[in-house]
Amino acid sequence: MHVVRRDDPRYMEAVVKKKSQEDPREIVIREKTAAQMLKEEWARDAFARIRDIQIEYLKDAVAHADDQEHVHARTQNTVRELSSLLRSSIVSGSEFLKEIPRGSPVLVATNHLGAYKLVGIKPKEDIGVDIPGYDAMYPYLMYFSALAPVADALGDTIYYVSEDFPGVFGDVHSAAGFVHVPPASIPIEGGRTAVLTEQTRATIIRHKNAAIVNFPEGGTSGKYTDLDIYDLDPFKTGGYVVASELGIRIVPVAQYFDKDKGMQLCVFDPVVPPQGASKDVYEHLAKNDQEKMQAWLDVCRNRMK
């Protein structure tokens, strides 16, 4: 299987372009997210602190990018710190996690809530890393830190799947154990799902107790539909194919940010997609999980009106 080298200028250019924060739709969804999540002083203080912590984390991780053990340990500790600041907790479905053997690898499928968009940084100003054209970034950890209580309940370390990052930030991303998605504009022999399967397999081999967070919408909720931050896009099936190939569970988890209580998590019944299933089977599983999450999010949203 062949992937264009990450240090290839074409690859770097594609990653930088994909990571732009100046897309008008990106600005709109960021404003919508801020309007709903930063209503209370405690939340504004928490997100300000999270931004500072992520800058500290990235400075240290960049300085130790070639020390995988150091980056991994710092990452896991910082994730728990951010999760605490978010007041993240499981409010429903914890019984499903008790049925899973502790330390089992799982894929955590969750809604692509844009909380991470509220803590963007400037790589050159804040970290001292100057990558041409890469003037702003969303640090990795806020993409998935809210899911830490799920990993902790399973006795797992926590990782996530993301579009790739350029230069040394991509190196840190790999050192932390994360799975990266090559840009869609880069041709990949065998297809992107096969690449993700192999990366996920490698993560599980290195960390047998891995909870790997993925976002089956494929983009931030509401961004491309001009809807609310809790209006979910249809779920793609890539994660279900990966779980099927590797024989591991998918654990669906919905995230909702309560302005008074913090991040609320609802866990739904896990499933191991059957190996060699048809596309229709994967689509049915994905649609079922999306509908369950949407129903719960609608209840939360209506309760807050």
> Residue ranges per domain, the chain?
9-303
Neighbours of 144 (CB within 10 A): 27
CB–CB of 204/105 below 8 Å? yes
Mean pLDDT value of segment 248-262: 97
Residue 76 pLDDT exceeds 60: yes
Kindly state the tokens that stand for 49: 């602190």
Kindly state the tokens that stand for 115: 């909380």
Give 69: exposed, middle or buried? Use CB within 10 Å, 0-12, 13-18, 19+. exposed
Amino acid 115: pLDDT = 97
Neighbours of 187 (CB within 10 A): 9
Amino acid 51: pLDDT = 98
Contacts of 172 (CB under 8 A, 6+ apart): 58, 61, 62, 65, 71, 140, 165
Residue 3 pLDDT exceeds 60: no
Kindly state the tokens that stand for 118: 């509220």
- First CA to last CA across the chain, in angstroms? 51
CB–CB of 107/215 below 8 Å? no
Of the pLDDT bands very low, low, confident and very high (cuts 50, 70, 90), residue 233 is: very high
pLDDT tens for each residue of 25-41: 999 999 999 999 999 99
b/e per residue, 106-116, with b = 16+ CB within 10 A?
bbbbbbbbbbb
Residue 6 pLDDT exceeds 80: no
Mean pLDDT value of segment 211-227: 95
Residue 54 pLDDT exceeds 70: yes
Amino acid 18: pLDDT = 62
**In 3D, which of 145, 167, 140 has the Cα closest to residue 158?**
145
CA atoms within 13 A of residue 234's CA, in its CB half-sphere: 7
Residue 4 pLDDT exceeds 60: no
Residue of higher predicted confidence among 116 and 164 = 116
